[in-house]
Structure 1
Amino acid sequence: MASRSIVVVSGGLSQPSSTRILADRLTEATVADLAARGVDTVVEVVELRGLAHDVVDMTLTGYARPDLAAAQSALAGADGVIAVSPVYAASYAGLFKSFVDVLAADTLDGTPVLLGATGGTVRHSLALDHALRPLFAYLHADVVPTSVFAATDDWADAGTDQVKPLPARIRRAAAELAQRVAAREPVTRTGLYDAVPSFEDLLGGS
């Protein structure tokens, strides 16, 4: 069976980031589940913190610098996506939304997506259903039923004990994503970004 690609989008703004930690836990569980199904996985991580200036530049100019263009192309060719954002003011982070805003409309069309979020209190968990899920539904992504929210207090209880809620939810969500990814033919979507010139090219390299 052909290998599958998983692209992980981490919207954490701090370093180290609990958002990145959750993204890594979800990735590890998904890769393990795919391996159990006999599927090899190639993982690429997109850290939005490092693309912040490129995202703003594209918002203003309409053209992507190389690192941002590479992230966009990776998403367009992904067999599955894990997207995790911190929650601020009861919604996804502004940088996370700005990154989504500079994606081509068909980038995630039909792509299986696992959603995650982090926040200081469990009250923010509602953002997954009232903000993140509608956003990815608009993009025509195939969002798996289980999403994962991790509050600050969850990390103290997030060991390997089978009865602890966060690890169990991570495994459940990862299994749902792995099942969808394994059941699909490898993605062959190309051309969404290949023809877009860089801003430097338009200026003649100056």
Structure 2
Amino acid sequence: MHAMKLVVVTAGLTQPSSTRLLADRLAEAVVRRLDGHEAAAEVRVIELRDLAVDIANNLVTGFPNARLRAAIEAVTQADGLIAVTPIFSGSYSGLFKSFFDVIDNTALAGKPVLVAATGGTARHSLALEHALRPLFAYLRAVVVPTAVYAAAEDWGGGGDPFTDGLGERIGRAAEELAGLLPRSAPRQSPDDRPGGEPGYDEVVPFEQQLAALRPLS
């Protein structure tokens, strides 16, 4: 089974943090859905708090060190991305924005992305739509329709594991991201297939296609 690369970027500043908790729940939900589609994923979590100094140095010097370069490469080479930030002053955190500032603005083109955020109050939930979604639209990523916001009251006291609809939103967003991830098997040559028949990834010359359409004499 071909394993996809799922990278989780979380910008929580404390340890543990509700931002990391939400990121983990989203990753687990995506993996479960992929498993239901008989697909596998390798999950890598990038904690931006551990890279804060590296990101600041990159902004000043223009060059990433080895640790930051590895994180950037993981994000740009991922099949899918989950990006989670705390909301400060009605928008994403400065650390979150700074990380994506040091990534080339064409590197995420066409990449499926699930965006999510945490905050102290539900009043900041629209930051997903007026801040995060435009950011990744500018980077030309493919953002799934459902963005997930978790306020302080979402953690505990409800009927499902994540309370009051958060679990449902996590599941819906995970299903959307899983549906966008590539699940194709590695290419095979004709000799590898039963009977040596051509596969869908082979190109049949136009002349050959045209000859097949001519009536037999």
Say whether residues 1:92 and 2:92 are aligned partners. Answer: yes
5+ long unaligned stretches in structure 2: 187-217
Task: Tell me how far 1:161 sits from its aligned partner.
Answer: 5.5
Aligned length: 186
Task: Tell me how far 1:15 sits from its aligned partner.
Answer: 1.0
SS for the counterpart of 1:85 is strand
Change (3 A) 1:178 1:157: farther
Letter in 1 for 2:15: Q
5+ long unaligned stretches in structure 1: 187-206
Task: Tell me how far 1:2 sits from its aligned partner.
Answer: 1.6
Task: Tell me how far 1:32 sits from its aligned partner.
Answer: 0.4
Task: Tell me how far 1:164 sits from its aligned partner.
Answer: 3.5
Instruction: Give TM-score, length-normalised by structure 1.
Output: 0.86
Aligned to 1:111: 111
Cα distance between partner residues in 2 of 1:59 and 1:33: 38
Mapped contact 1:120–1:152 kept (Cα < 8 A)? yes
Letter in 2 for 1:24: D
Q: Which runs of 4+ in 1 moved over 2 A?
A: 157-164, 182-186
Structure of larger gyration radius: 2
SS for the counterpart of 2:180 is helix
> Structure 1, residues 57-108: CA drift from partner, whole Å, max 9, x if none?
0000000011110010001110000000000000000000000100012221
Instruction: Give TM-score, length-normalised by structure 2.
Output: 0.82
Letter in 2 for 1:109: A
Counting only pairs closer than 5 Å after superposition, residues 117-196 of structure 1 correspond to structure 2 as: 117-157=117-157, 160=160, 164-182=164-182
Letter in 1 for 2:105: A
CA RMSD of aligned residues (A): 1.8
Change (3 A) 1:46 1:162: closer
Aligned to 1:32: 32
Mapped contact 1:159–1:167 kept (Cα < 8 A)? no
Cα distance between partner residues in 1 of 2:162 and 2:127: 26
Mapped contact 1:34–1:182 kept (Cα < 8 A)? no
Report 1 or 2 for greater relative contact order, CA contacts < 8 Å, sequence distance ≥ 6.
1
